[in-house]
């Protein structure tokens, strides 16, 4: 047992965070024309800047990497300029923010792809998943398998996106290796039946995720690079026959790359924490830098897991939607506001920037 508290400062590499609570990445589908985050996004993130660390909504590294309508990108100058407003707003309030770098792989729809082409994937296996396109949830499209010669281009897109994120003023990036998107599709054998160096063994299935991480580290430094993984989450229709061996290996290699954090979705994303047997403590012990825990945390669980030294930081997702001042509310033991499900995905300020802080909601 330790006497740490959630509300004390924490050193994430060379960055000092004001507390141990992170805002988990939350897709809100409100980017403007050209997939540029607008002034409302700056207001929304600024309102939540009292989190020790904000992690942005997933942000596509290329048009090919997009899978949902109106999600922001980080591959054009206009997008970089839009994001700079967000980072400026967060930094003005003393917050820290990482950008989540995203390639959805097969979780996409032809309507979002260049010239209506098929989404790409490790193998031509369609996901049992839906995406949000044309203002509704519809089945994802049939993907095509990436050719071996295309993978270097994807690694390069992640690397360029990391450079763009730093140009936009982010404190670092989080590589999206979770939730059934491209890098997780490669890692999990339900989605990856390749017979080349990127399929088959534990080492081969980890290869793309690790090459991407190494490229991002080379570009912006290990101290500014984190990654999100979800070893047993069935999100977007993936599963692994050997998750413990797979993710023990991945985390050993990430540790060797010296990245600043791993962000672990413990269980089914947004669902049960005990969805499958898995020893998350093994990842915690293998990784020497910061371990961010996520999934279904509340004040009580985060407090007890911190006391047991099971994690360094705790990412809260859904509670941040309706509680911009979540940190203050948790510290005060104040009640939490509830999310309106109708305004989560898409729209304008309603259900986005109009949830009040508690002092305001009392007046
Ligand atoms: C509306 C919504 C959007 C989400 N968007 C993302 C995302 O962009 N990237 C990601 O890695 N996870 C995303 N997630 C998953 C959350 O980050 C988090 O893992 C999940 O909500 C469980 O944490 P919680 O119990 O604290 O909400 C999203 C979840 C929700 C509810």
Catalytic: 181? yes
pLDDT the model gives residue 69: 97
The encoded tokens of residue 269 equal 């994303």
Would you say residue 70 lies in a domain? yes
Residue 32 per-residue DSSP state? B
CB 344 less than 6 A from any atom of ligand 1: yes
CA of 317 to the centre of ligand 1 (A): 5
CA of 147 to the centre of ligand 1 (A): 31
pLDDT the model gives residue 362: 53
Would you say residue 5 lies in a domain? no
Structural domain tally of the chain? 1
pLDDT the model gives residue 267: 98
Q: Which of 181, 198, 261, 352 is catalytic?
A: 181
**Mind listing the pLDDT tens digit for each residue in 132-158?**
998 889 999 999 999 999 999 999 999
Would you say residue 1 lies in a domain? no
CB 270 less than 6 A from any atom of ligand 1: yes
Burial 294-304 (b: 16+ CB within 10 A, else e): bbbbebeebbe
Identify the three-state secondary structure at position 323.
coil
Closest CA to ligand 1's atom 5: 26
CA of 270 to the centre of ligand 1 (A): 7
Residue range(s) defining the domain that contains residue 29: 10-362
> Which residue among 26, 30, 56, 181 is best mutated to probe the pocket of ligand 1, counting the most ligand atoms within 8 A of its Cβ?
26
CB 317 less than 6 A from any atom of ligand 1: yes
Q: What is the mean pLDDT of residues 76-96?
A: 98
CA of 197 to the centre of ligand 1 (A): 31
Per-residue confidence band for 363, with pLDDT thresholds at 50, 70 and 90:
very low
Would you say residue 2 lies in a domain? no
Contact 6, 330 (CB under 8 A): yes
The encoded tokens of residue 218 equal 């080379």
Closest CA to ligand 1's atom 23: 295
On the question of pLDDT at 296 being above 80, the answer is yes
Q: Which atom of ligand 1 is nearest to the CA of 57?
A: 8
**Mind listing the pLDDT tens digit for each residue in 34-85?**
999 999 999 999 999 999 999 999 999 999 999 999 999 999 999 999 999 9
CB 174 less than 6 A from any atom of ligand 1: no
Torsion-angle region of 179 (φ positive above 0: left; ψ -120 to 50: alpha; else: beta): left
Contact 338, 361 (CB under 8 A): no
Q: What is the mean pLDDT of residues 178-189?
A: 98
**Mind listing the pLDDT tens digit for each residue in 243-285?**
999 999 999 999 999 999 999 999 999 999 999 999 999 999 9
Q: Which atom of ligand 1 is nearest to the CA of 294?
A: 23
The encoded tokens of residue 37 equal 């985050």
pTM (two decimals): 0.98
CA of 315 to the centre of ligand 1 (A): 10
Would you say residue 3 lies in a domain? no
The closest alpha carbon to 289, from 310, 256, 260, 311, belongs to 260
Pairing mode, strands 136-139 and 130-133: antiparallel
- Average pLDDT in the chain: 97
Distance from C-alpha of 40 to C-alpha of 348, rounded to nearest angstrom: 8
pLDDT the model gives residue 8: 97
> Any idea what the CATH number is for the domain that residue 346 is in?
3.20.20.70
């Amino acid at each position: 047992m330790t006497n740490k508290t959630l509300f004390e400062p924490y050193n994430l590499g060379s960055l000092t965070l004001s507390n141990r609570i992170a805002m988990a990445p939350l897709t809100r589908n409100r980017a403007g024309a050209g997939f540029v985050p607008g002034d409302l996004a700056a207001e929304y993130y600024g309102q939540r800047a009292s989190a020790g660390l904000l992690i942005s909504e997933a942000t596509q590294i290329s048009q090919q990497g997009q899978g949902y309508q109106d999600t922001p990108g980080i591959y054009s100058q206009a997008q970089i300029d839009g994001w700079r407003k967000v980072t400026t707003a967060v930094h003005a309030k003393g917050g820290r923010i990482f950008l989540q770098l995203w390639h959805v792989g097969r979780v996409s729809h032809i309507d979002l792809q260049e010239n209506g082409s098929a989404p790409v994937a490790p193998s031509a296996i369609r996901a049992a998943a839906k995406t949000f396109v044309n203002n509704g949830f519809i089945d994802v499209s049939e993907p095509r398998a990436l050719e071996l010669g295309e993978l270097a281009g994807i690694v390069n897109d992640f690397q360029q996106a990391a450079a763009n994120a730093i140009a936009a003023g982010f404190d670092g990036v989080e590589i999206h290796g979770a939730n059934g998107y491209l890098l997780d599709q490669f890692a999990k054998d339900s989605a990856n039946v390749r017979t080349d160096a990127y399929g088959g063994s534990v080492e081969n299935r980890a290869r793309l995720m690790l090459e991407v991480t190494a490229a991002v580290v080379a570009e912006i430094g290990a101290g500014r690079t984190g990654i999100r993984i979800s070893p047993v989450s069935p999100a977007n229709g993936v599963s692994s026959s050997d998750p413990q061996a797979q993710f023990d290996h991945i985390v050993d290699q990430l540790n060797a790359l010296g990245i600043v954090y791993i962000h672990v979705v413990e269980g089914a994303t947004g669902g049960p924490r005990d969805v499958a047997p898995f020893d998350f403590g093994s990842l915690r012990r293998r990784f020497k830098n910061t371990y961010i825990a996520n999934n279904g945390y509340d004040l009580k669980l985060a407090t007890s897991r911190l006391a047991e030294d099971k994690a360094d930081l705790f990412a809260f997702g859904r509670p941040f939607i309706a509680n911009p001042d979540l940190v203050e509310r948790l510290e005060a033991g104040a009640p939490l506001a509830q999310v309106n499900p109708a305004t989560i995905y898409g729209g304008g300020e309603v259900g986005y920037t109009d949830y009040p802080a508690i002092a305001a909601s009392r007046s």
